[in-house]
Structure 1
């Protein structure tokens, strides 16, 4: 993300046990236990796929109907389990493997507790289907041009579909959205068949690569759809809301060029489709929704920088996703430095000079350095990654050399693509590739709250 501006362990939380056909069953915990937001996510199962069906009519902008099936595998025996889902929706039915569930309840703002009629043994695959409808005006952005947009980090998924809402549990995703004819619904991945019947059009989108819940998107407007391709033939599908189609096209049309450039730095583009969604200037931010990031549809060169940032997230943040929210640097630090790499290659900028200028301007500004890059705290998890993150990576590049740095970027994708990794995992990889003891460097740059000492601030050819 870049602004132009819940929940114990997977195997813990046993409250009740019994024996069914020789299998021990227990309640799943109501949170994964992330230190920042312990109640995010849920214990006891892993999701493999979301099949989300929604209906929306812009004439009733605060109303949404939904029918979501979550396919999962029990990591432990379950006599009950939780899904994260806003209580703003009324639930008409819950089924587990096609059997109606009588025992479901709501706790807190985002907790749906499901008690299946039959306990689920450890290792069993199961489908839970939730049918719902309601209003949730505070959770959706409704642009002046009509339609709606649901996005947000770190929490947004539970405002429109039930989920195991933590980045450590990634799953493939299918969206089926039905809207009045003349409107378009856009989601993640490749576009499937579109059908119109009785004045309504149904759009289908499939992302066949695992995605974190916060990177799912639902966007509805009278979009202008633009199709292109990467150099390897990967389809690029972009959606421009009214007004943005003329304001942002000259920047959005550079998206294939940008992704092809990033592929030379990070390795092959990791997904089966690419693109972007461009709203008006009131969407004053970008977000790395997988395969189809969000951008403001404004006529500003800053949009190019934003496209570079959010497309870099397709590798760093989406393909390789943080394990816990304290690992935010594995997403934002790299996406921010990608902007530097773009300016170096495409605009001829001297990055050493840029680095020195920023450091010189902030050497006597303790606030600039006061937030750690690793484990910065829940209230400040985005406070430093955009400002000191790219500085740290440039200093690292000058410390280990371009060859080792470039190797680390591509090996990171090779080792962890499609899954999750932590910031310490990246430190270990770089130390292995470079053959250097970098403990002092990382202590000074990612765990300290003061300006790094001179040997780490100006390594190698980076002279003051």
Structure 2
């Protein structure tokens, strides 16, 4: 995610179903999948007792009325015997749930819990299929979910909970799955999503578009965007197809997006081969205060510039291919995206003296305790999208100067490639980086990541950063 710092300055940052259902199972019930996975910030996110493998989402959407009709199939494998299990869902009213083709009882509890009780209990190690049908007005809550455009279009964006607003899922970074979307809209509208567009047909007054994301994806990184788009088709030198879309008042961004092949080539030099088989961007014309790294095809706000595109494309490695284990690990996502866009691109493309920029920033905030008070590792719920943007690049630049380029860059490349399509944590990153240098990094990491005050000068000014 890239915040619009024009409006959010660093200073501001510093200051019941149709089938009657039994009550939600007791969390101590050995035949009930847990309703949450205990993330320290969002303990009710995700669900236990199964692993999702694929989501097949079929929706129809009417732009004038915002009415959504959906049917989602979840292909999963039970990891324990299950009398009941949960899905995360905050969308429109549900009309029917089936498990393995048989009717299932269901109930909706708390903010986003859909409790499903199959007619026949599920056995551990065996695959099962759940189908959920629903219909009603498309909505979003607290910046997560549906957004509506001036043209009458709509799109889904938000971190970390946007997916549950339009389809039921196991909403946790720890359970990635492949994803297919089939969307029907009035024929004059276009549909964008993740991965490859595998079909686009018009029949009568309707257009139906299908998209397929073949690599695993976290829920909040899926999206649908509906508008009267114009398109930019590009292709990398290696043949990777790139499809980008521009809402009616976003066409000025075509010039920035035309540099996408160059940006991807740059990122590959740093972090290894691009992890997906297609790419692009979705440029909206809605008053949006963030851009978001939706997988293969980020959502870009109207204020997007080149720096923002570099930031979101970095996330295709850091955040999308390699995802956090817990939201306290968010520095892995945002520190690297911010460092790449704010330091590495200007240094390597424009010849900028990033050591000088680092020193100037440190001098500016050296004696400001508020600048240092939110730790980079485990910043706390509600603060996870703060210090990682403005102090994260400083941390990585100091780490680079501590280790030296010959150790730092191969190490970060190996780390991200070693966790491709999986998950990683900040403690794992710390341990890995220590294996790639003879220097003792314990004090450095403690000072930069754990403490809530300014690091000592030995950690602020390592290597070439010394005055």
- Compute the TM-score of the two structures, normalised by the length of structure 1: 0.93
Alignment of 1:213-228 (within 5 A): 213-228=219-234
Q: Is the 8 A contact 1:296 1:303 kept in 2?
A: no
SS in 2 for 1:114: strand
Pairwise CA distance, 1:121? 0.9
Q: Is the 8 A contact 1:48 1:170 kept in 2?
A: yes
Q: Is the 8 A contact 1:53 1:176 kept in 2?
A: yes
Alignment correspondent of 1:23: none
Q: Is 2:425 the counterpart of 1:419?
A: no
Structure 1 unaligned spans of 5+: 6-11, 18-25
Deviations 1:290-320 (A, max 9, x none): 000011245xxx6100000000000000000
SS in 2 for 1:193: strand
Deviations 1:211-269 (A, max 9, x none): 11110111000101211112211111101001212x11111111111111111111110
Alignment correspondent of 2:364: 361
Q: Is the 8 A contact 2:146 2:155 kept in 1?
A: yes
Deviations 1:62-98 (A, max 9, x none): x111110111111111110000101x51111111111
Alignment correspondent of 1:312: 314
Q: Is the 8 A contact 1:13 1:28 kept in 2?
A: no
Structure 2 unaligned spans of 5+: 6-24
Alignment correspondent of 1:27: 32
Task: Identify which of 387, 390, 395 aligns with 2:393.
Answer: 390
Alignment of 1:8-27 (within 5 A): 15-16=28-29, 26-27=31-32
Gap change, CA 1:13 and 1:423, over 3 Å in 2: farther
Deviations 1:399-431 (A, max 9, x none): 001011111121012210000000111111111
Q: Is 2:192 the counterpart of 1:190?
A: no
Pairwise CA distance, 1:59? 1.8
Q: Is the 8 A contact 2:56 2:179 kept in 1?
A: yes
Question: Separation in 1 of the partners of 2:204 and 2:166?
Answer: 25
Question: Separation in 2 of the partners of 1:448 and 1:185?
Answer: 46
Q: Is the 8 A contact 2:149 2:286 kept in 1?
A: no
Q: Is 2:277 the counterpart of 1:268?
A: no
Alignment correspondent of 2:63: 58
Alignment correspondent of 1:294: 299
Alignment correspondent of 2:160: 154
Alignment correspondent of 1:98: 101
Deviations 1:44-72 (A, max 9, x none): 111111111111111212x1111101111
Q: Is 2:402 the counterpart of 1:399?
A: yes
Alignment correspondent of 2:122: 120
Pairwise CA distance, 1:435? 3.0
Question: Separation in 1 of the partners of 2:462 and 2:224?
Answer: 45
Question: Separation in 2 of the partners of 1:388 and 1:376?
Answer: 12
Alignment correspondent of 2:238: 232
Question: Separation in 1 of the partners of 2:428 and 2:106?
Answer: 39
Deviations 1:341-392 (A, max 9, x none): 1111111111100000000000010100100000111121111000110000
Alignment correspondent of 1:71: 75
Alignment correspondent of 2:4: 4
Question: Separation in 2 of the partners of 1:2 and 1:93?
Answer: 38
SS in 2 for 1:250: helix
Gap change, CA 1:435 and 1:126, over 3 Å in 2: farther
Question: Separation in 1 of the partners of 2:323 and 2:156?
Answer: 20
Question: Separation in 2 of the partners of 1:30 and 1:174?
Answer: 25
Gap change, CA 1:13 and 1:355, over 3 Å in 2: farther
Q: Is the 8 A contact 1:42 1:164 kept in 2?
A: yes
Q: CA RMSD in A?
A: 1.4
Q: Is the 8 A contact 2:94 2:135 kept in 1?
A: yes
Deviations 1:312-351 (A, max 9, x none): 0000000000000000011000000011111111111111
SS in 2 for 1:55: strand
Deviations 1:89-134 (A, max 9, x none): 1111111111111x11111121110000111111111111101001
Q: Is the 8 A contact 2:178 2:217 kept in 1?
A: yes
Q: Is the 8 A contact 1:32 1:42 kept in 2?
A: yes
Alignment correspondent of 1:20: none
SS in 2 for 1:367: helix
Question: Separation in 2 of the partners of 1:173 and 1:83?
Answer: 16
Question: Separation in 1 of the partners of 2:408 and 2:283?
Answer: 33
Deviations 1:16-51 (A, max 9, x none): 45xxxxxxxx10010011011111111111111111
- Compute the TM-score of the two structures, normalised by the length of structure 2: 0.93
Q: Is the 8 A contact 1:288 1:313 kept in 2?
A: yes
Q: Is the 8 A contact 1:143 1:280 kept in 2?
A: yes
Pairwise CA distance, 1:192? 0.4
Q: Is 2:137 the counterpart of 1:131?
A: no
Pairwise CA distance, 1:281? 5.6
Pairwise CA distance, 1:14? 5.7
Question: Separation in 1 of the partners of 2:302 and 2:370?
Answer: 33
Q: Is the 8 A contact 1:231 1:260 kept in 2?
A: no
Question: Separation in 1 of the partners of 2:27 and 2:186?
Answer: 47
Question: Separation in 2 of the partners of 1:37 and 1:13?
Answer: 20
**Count of aligned positions:** 443
